[in-house]
Amino acid sequence: MRVIIIGAGKLGYSIAELLSQEEYDIVVIDKEEGQLENIKENLDVLTMAANGSSPITMDNPDVQGADILIAVTGSDEVNMVCCILAKKHGITHTVARIRDMQFMSEAKDYLKANFDIDLMLNPEYITSMEINRILMVPAALNVEDFAEGRVRLFETKVRRNSPLAGTPLKNLDIPKSILAAMIFRDHRMIIPHGDDCLLSHDNAYFVGEAGAIANFSKNLVRSDARKISRAVIIGAGRAGRFTARILDKQGVQVKIFDMNRERCRLIAGTLSSHSMAIHGDGTNIDLLQSEGISDADIMICMTDDDKLNLLLALMGRHLGAAKTIVTVNRYDYIDLMEKVGVDIVLSSRFLAASEVLAFVRRGGIVSVSLLEGAKAEAIEVVVQPGAKVAGKKLMDAALPRECLVCGYVRDEEAFVPNGNSVLNPGDRAIIIVQMKHSKNVLKYFQKD
Amino acid sequence: MNLKVIAYVLSQLQFAVTLSLGVPFVMALYWGEACAMDFAGTMLISLGVGVALSNYGELEHDSLTIREGIAVTGIAWFIIPLLASLPFLAGHYLNPIDSIFEGVSGLTCTGASVIKDLDAVPRSIILWRSITHWVGGLGIIVIYIAMFPQAGSGAAKMFNAEGAGPTEMRVVPRMKSTANALLLMYVFFSVILTTLLLLCGTSLFDAVNLAMSAIATGGFATTNGSAADFHSLSVELVLIIFMLIGGGNFGLYFLAYKKGYKYIIRDTEFRVYLAIYGVITLLVALNLYDAMGWQPGEALRGAAFQISSIMTTTGLSTYNFDEWPAFSQFCIILVMLMGGCGGSTSGGMKVSRVIILWKMVGTIIQEKLHPNSIARVTMESQSQSSTVVYRVARFFFLYVMIALLAACAFNFDGLPVVDSILLGLSCMGNAGVAFGAAYTFYDLPDVTKLVCCLCMIIGRLEIFTFLAMLQPGFWKRNSNW
Amino acid sequence: MNKLVLLLMGRVILLCGGLQLIPFCYSLYHGMWQTVGAFAASILAALLAGVILIGRGQEPEESLSVLAGAGFLFVCWWIMSIFGGLPYYFDGDLTLINGIFDSISCFTTTGVMDLPYRADDAIILWRSLSQWLGGYMVLLLLSTVLPGTSGCFGTTFIMPGSLRTGPITLRRINRTSVKILRIYTLVTVLGFLLYMLSGLEFFDGVNMALVTISTGGCYTPAADISFSGWVVVTALLGIVAAGCNVFMYWQALDFKEWRFVIHTWKNSEMRLFGLMVAAFTGIIALHLYLGGFYSLSDAVSNSLFHVVSFGCTNGIMAENMYHWDDVDKFFLMCIALIGGCMGSISGGFKIFRLQVLLKSSLAEMKRTLHPNMVVHIVIDGRTVPQKIIERILGYFFMFFLCMLFSLLVLSLTGLNMQQTMDMTIACLTSSGPMMMFHLDAQEVRMLPDWAKLYCSLLMIIGKINIFTFLLLVHGAWTGLRERYW
């Protein structure tokens, strides 16, 4: 399958990197030769220095007739033009990055219909929604929803005195509709079996029916941990503003800091009366203390600078914030940051790339979530008729060891499978699999 | 918000108040007056409150948050006037509402007295009134910071909360040294004024009381006729000079003392202050000469004293300006609204704020005529940020609004319109003068008196501090949110 | 001299003269020869001056600059009043200054007082007409010239977009003037019809309509209005209509959408206005009732009428009002100071500005605890830009300063404080009859000439807003400096 990526910026790079690992044919186009240097050297892709929004480029044999066009340049308008041109030149699917929040919220369907854009990417929007989702479940480090919310994946850190630690899984008191899907320990992904134990400092992933997960997560929550009521956000860029608005609407008291007065004013105009925008430097300890950082339930660091975000989160931790979230651009640091003490690290590029990946994969794949810095994936896939796994008992289907089927949805109902369960065509299966085996594993669920 | 820290600081303030109550107590014993017992009783109560607070409170950390600073200042300015009113109540000189009025009027340096006949009141009570002026003039907080060792950085928050003008003014680096410096100048001027008054022929008792009243720009006098009873040009001149000094920036004086007298001359605010004083005095004198037919010398003398007294919001008077023509009366309203310099003991809007507002109008005109230019308000060649400038403008709006609201209340209670407006402005500005029906405060209805007390405190604390305390979220215990 | 300004001035004079044809014909019809002569003379004078000025103003500039606009705003009231005051001068025994004083009070819709001497019906009609013309000029200037010169004090916030921006061109003035005339005449005719329906005679009806819709308020009808309920209601409606934002009507007509008029319920400014009227009526009615002046229902209706009348700075009064207590008069003074809605003919400080100030100051309170916070204000769902808030704060100071200064100046006439205050506020808020709270008509006549001129200046400032005047002063000052120093 051939994929064209227009725009060799950071997001373009991330997408190219992810897709090239999947062994697709990728062409990266950018106006500037310099931007392509990096990609040429590090990635196994074809690069072209050309203007992506020009019909001449579209006529190029390498580009014409491709399967997917992903337009991720810095300008929304250029992206939209690329998509129109693409469709007119026979490219079947288009993805465009649209940064403008207003387009996303108000003109979504119009754009889809008239500009022929199949998937609209807004990394800031995605990041904010992700943060929102995580925050609304108190004990979680990560939460993913599948099958329109019927099945939920829930990641939590096993604490030292947690009731889950130290006991073998088969003896743990976990409800029937929940499965311990994966353990992430010492940078390795472990698919647990009945004898494995959860140890402290593990990141444990549980998958199951949404309601059961909700109850389960509540029990894991410490008795004094409460729902988020006070949030501090540092950085009022697009993502920061959007996150502030979402949280504010749900009744959280938000304090958002930024050094730029205009940005403060922009966000101040949309907040309700229990939240406020503060004009000041987030690295100023006095300012943070006088504004009550020690009473904050969550501190979200969303400035443009990754290093600054890390510093702010650590400082916030030190001053007494209960939980810290950091957004980064480069996802190489995610591991390191989590080790150093940041609770949750999100990369907007990463999240955007996952959406693209899921889209590209298609063939019955409904959604993909990348876990643990792209080492593992949770995939929701529709079982095709004639697939290797259809109609057989799971233990007979000879699925590779590196994957686990954690749940499936049949006729609008969610089930947790065991070795004897049978998957029928049309069921939606949620599997967790290591990244490098994903393509292999997917073959089992798709037509031969 | 940490209640314990607040309680601790308050207890220290209480002890200071107890000490200051000791002075009239001792003097009462010395003069053999019966009210010594009243003072003793008040001292005991004050001591009791202090001990109770200090038992509850503990100094957990050195620095106060803004919220705590405001809370301390606000609560202090409620409790201490109440205590100050106890001697009046205990001796049955005044009913409860009147005592509170006298106490508040004393501490806020308003100087409006409800005592009908000062001659019938024991001298120690009169002394106590002047002491309340003296303590409240510089500020309860400032004296506390100066005298007690462990002030720390929380002190700055309390200092600002008490009201020191539009921008934070520090003369020397440390807060404590600033407070010390201010106290030093204050004592220095009080002593000099006392000596000068003695030289002019007043009795020691009168000299001390008048000095405390004038330097604190309070306005309580020792006799019923206020300063007029002295009939002495020299006394009036001395008082004029020292009232004007009291209306100036004490920090500036200290700066001049340390670094040279040219600082006073260079200071814009001080120059404008004196210039306005000069111009208005001349205008009023002309008006008196012209419309009332006074002699030029008498007109000038009367105008000079009255305008200096009202501009510095003192309130001592030599003539009954109720009879003056309308022009002079409006001039009086004008200077009362303006007040003294920032960082002085007087009330009102403060000259520096008026200057900022005036320049703000200039920048608006400038920006309208030349739309692409950016005009800035500069004071002392330092450009003021627009947040400061517009905070001053909002202060002005609130000031006028609160005065008008109070005036509505007074009016509804039965005072004529002009008198109630003036009373409202007078209380907000801590001037302590009034026209017409309110000229003698003791005739005012009770509700009016209570509203007056409230206005006096709001004006002294410069509005925002008081209003901040009214916010519902302010008193929530655990959060600094 | 700016040619465009000359042209406009000429037009205004012609308009003035043209309108005088109505009383001219009226007096001709009734055979009042002295008035006929007076009007004829003044119409001729207006014609002459108008034609000369228009002749001088041929091929004018494209648009009005800020200073030229301010100059025109200031000057047009003076010339209107002079040419409009000629009939009084030619006809009766008013001196020139008194004539100008009366005339300005009519044109600025202040409406100070009734002529104490015997006046013909035609003169009275002309007075009402001049108030009507004054109201029209206010609206016209509000929508054309004012936004460019000093609209930043809130006017531009409430205007529809098409009027807000762009230079002040002759074309635009022409278009807008016709449109506004249509709206204005429509409302006046409606008012007249309602008055006729409620039982007034023809002459009374015409005058009342002219005088209530223009917020002038200077007319004593032959019938005693306090006894006729329907007249009172009509008067109330007329006054309220005048006190509302004219741009509402504009949009309704423009887009043929009557929804905009229904929208007034949702407009926070209108709601605040309603709230204040209710509150003030309550307080005054209570006081009147407790003071034994009236029975309860009379107290309420009387106070409602007067509160609305002064709230929209109209000033029309029932006769028995003079005996009220000081308290009530003070509250009426307060509501006159607050003024009507932004974008209406009424004067005063304007409710919108008060709204912004209140919200802004209360938001500032929060900043005491959080010094770095950024505050914002939302009115009717729209964020108020920082610039407008700042300007309105400045405007409050200027307004107050102007009032204080005028108090000082007017007190030199020898009046006592209360009377001076009445006069100043009456002129500044263009709700003239307030002057009569503590003064007699005779006493007003006795004031020195310079005081009357100063009052005229104040009335004009009340209409064009103090900032325009300051602009002019500043412009003149720098102009002089450049030329002579």
Digit-coded pLDDT (tens) for C69-102: 888 888 888 888 888 888 888 876 678 888 888 8
Residue B292, domain member (yes or no) = no
Q: Which helix (H) or strand (E) holds C307?
A: helix C296-311
Q: Cβ C373–A287 below 8 Å, yes or no?
A: no
Distance in Å, alpha carbon of B65 to nearest chain A alpha carbon: 7
Of A319, B358, B64, A241, give the one whose Cα is nearest residue C470.
B358
Judge whether B398 is closer than 8 Å to chain C, CB to CB: yes
Q: How far is CA B301 from CA A358, B45, B287, B290, C470, in A?
A: 92, 46, 13, 15, 36
Residue A277: the pLDDT is 93
Instruction: Note whether C364 contacts B474, CB cutoff 8 Å.
Output: no
Q: Per the domain annotation, does B229 fall within a domain?
A: yes
From chain C residues 301-360, the ones with a CB under 8 A of any chain B CB are 326-327, 329-331, 333-334, 357, 360
Interior/surface letters C278-302, b for 16+ CB within 10 angstroms, e for the rest? eebbebbbebbbeeebbeeeebbbb
Buried b (16+ CB within 10 A) or exposed e, B118-133: beebbbbbbbbbbbbb
Query: Band of the pLDDT at C221, cuts 50, 70, 90?
Result: low
A:C CB pairs within 8 Å: 28
Record: contact A290-B479, CB cut-off 8 A: no
In-domain check, residue B233: yes
- Got the DSSP string for C219-268? ---SS-GGG-HHHHHHHHHHHHHHHS-HHHHHHHHHTT-THHHHGGGT-H
Is residue C70 within 8 A of residue C149, CB to CB? The reply is: yes
Instruction: At B249, list the tokens.
Output: 């920036």
Q: Looking at A273-277, B357-361, C252-256, C316-320, which range is the least confident one? A: C252-256
Q: Residue-wise over A275-296: b if at least 16 C-beta within 10 A, else e?
A: bbbbbbebeeeebbebbbbbbb
Question: For C92-169, where are the alpha helices, taking DSSP H only?
Answer: 96-107, 121-143, 145-150, 155-158, 161-164
pLDDT of residue A223: 44
Phi, psi of B252 (to 5 degrees): -65, -40
Inter-chain touch C374–A268, beta carbons under 8 Å: yes
Quick count: other Cβ atoms within 10 Å of Cβ C117?
Answer: 10
Burial class, C407, CB count within 10 angstroms (exposed 0-12 / middle 13-18 / buried 19+): buried
pLDDT of residue A346 exceeding 60? yes
The owner of tokens 């920082």 is C386
Joined tokens for residue A293: 């950082």
The domain in which residue B54 lies consists of 3-246
List A residues 293-322 in contact with B (Cβ-Cβ < 8 A): 294-295
Indicate yes or no: CB of C414 within 8 angstroms of CB of B291.
Answer: yes
Neighbour count for residue B432 (Cβ, 10 Å): 29
Highest mean pLDDT: which of A157-166, B357-366, C146-155? B357-366
Nearest to C412 by CA among C423, C426, C425: C423
Confirm whether B198 is domain-assigned: yes
User: Per-residue pLDDT for chain B (481 aa), expressed as one digit of tens each?
Assistant: 678 888 888 888 888 888 888 888 888 888 888 888 888 888 898 889 888 888 888 776 666 777 888 888 888 888 888 888 888 888 777 888 888 999 999 989 888 888 878 778 888 888 888 988 888 887 777 777 776 655 555 666 677 767 656 665 555 667 777 788 888 888 899 999 999 988 888 888 888 988 988 888 888 888 877 777 777 888 888 889 999 988 888 888 888 888 888 888 888 889 999 999 999 999 999 998 888 888 888 889 889 999 999 999 988 888 888 888 889 999 999 999 998 888 888 888 889 899 999 999 988 888 888 877 777 777 776 777 788 888 889 999 999 999 999 999 988 888 888 888 889 999 999 988 887 766 677 778 888 899 999 999 999 888 888 888 888 778 776 666 6
Contact C372/B at CB under 8 A: no
CB B335 within 8 A of CB B310: yes
Is C296's Cβ below 8 Å from some Cβ in A? Answer: no
Residue A118: CB atoms within 10 A of its CB come to 15
Distance, CA of B440 to CA of B434 (rounded, Å):
8
Q: For A366-421, how does the pLDDT look when each residue is reduced to its tens digit (9 = 90+)?
A: 677 777 666 788 888 888 887 888 888 887 777 777 788 888 888 878 888 877 88
The rounded distance, in Å, linking the Cα atoms of C367 and C374 is 8
Asked if residue B196 belongs to a domain, the reply is yes
Within a domain: B338 = no
Distance from CA of A285 to the nearest CA of C (A): 14
pLDDT at residue number A226: 61
Tell me what pLDDT residue C274 has: 86
As a whole number, the mean pLDDT across chain C is: 82
The pLDDT of residue C401: 92
Q: What is the mean pLDDT of residues A301-307?
A: 90
pLDDT bin (cut points 50, 70, 90) of residue C259 is low
Domain membership flag for residue B271: no
Angstrom distances, CA of residue B143 to CA of A146, B16, B135, B139, B350: 67, 9, 8, 6, 21
- Which pLDDT score, from 0 to 100, does residue B308 have? 92
Q: Which two tokens stand for residue C392?
A: 């309105």
Residue A94: beta bridge partners?
Answer: A69
Q: What count of residues does chain C have?
A: 485
CB within 8 Å: B418 and C417: yes
Give the domains, in start order, of chain A with CATH numbers. Answer: 2-121 (3.40.50.720), 230-321 (3.40.50.720), 351-443 (3.30.70.1450)
| pLDDT mean across residues, chain A | 83
Residue B275: its pLDDT value, please? 94
The subunits that touch chain B, with at least 3 C-beta pairs less than 8 Å apart, are: A, C
In the three-class reduction of DSSP (H, G, I as helix; E, B as strand; rest coil), residue B275 is classed as helix
Q: So what's the pLDDT on residue C466?
A: 87
User: Which of A224, A262, A273, A295 should we substitute to test contact with B (largest number of B Cβ atoms within 10 Å)?
Assistant: A295
Task: Give the separation between CA A290 and CA A310, rounded to whole angstroms.
Answer: 21
Rounded distance between C-alpha atoms, residue A117 and residue A79, angstroms: 10
Lowest mean pLDDT among C261-270, C450-459, C465-474: C261-270
Q: Which of B358, B397, B423 to mutate to test the interface with C (most CBs of C within 10 A)?
A: B397
At A224 the pLDDT is 42
Q: And the tokens for B344?
A: 């002085």
Contact B341, B269 (CB under 8 A): yes
In terms of Cβ atoms closer than 10 Å to its own Cβ (0-12, 13-18, 19+), residue B282 is middle
Average pLDDT over residues A285-298: 87
Chain A residue with minimum CA distance to C371 = A278
pLDDT at B171: 58
Do A295 and B478 make contact, defined as CB atoms within 8 angstroms? yes
Instruction: Please indicate whether residue A72 or residue B185 has the higher confidence score (pLDDT).
Output: A72
Chain A residues near residue C378 by CB distance under 8 angstroms: 269
Mean of the pLDDT values across residues C164-185? 81
pTM for the full predicted model:
0.85
pLDDT at B398: 93
Q: Cβ A264–C370 below 8 Å, yes or no? A: no
- Bigger pLDDT: B258 vs A6: A6
> How many domains are contained in chain B?
1
**Among candidates A33, A34, A16, which has minimal Cα distance to A25?**
A16
- Identify whether B116 is part of a domain: yes
ipTM score here? 0.89
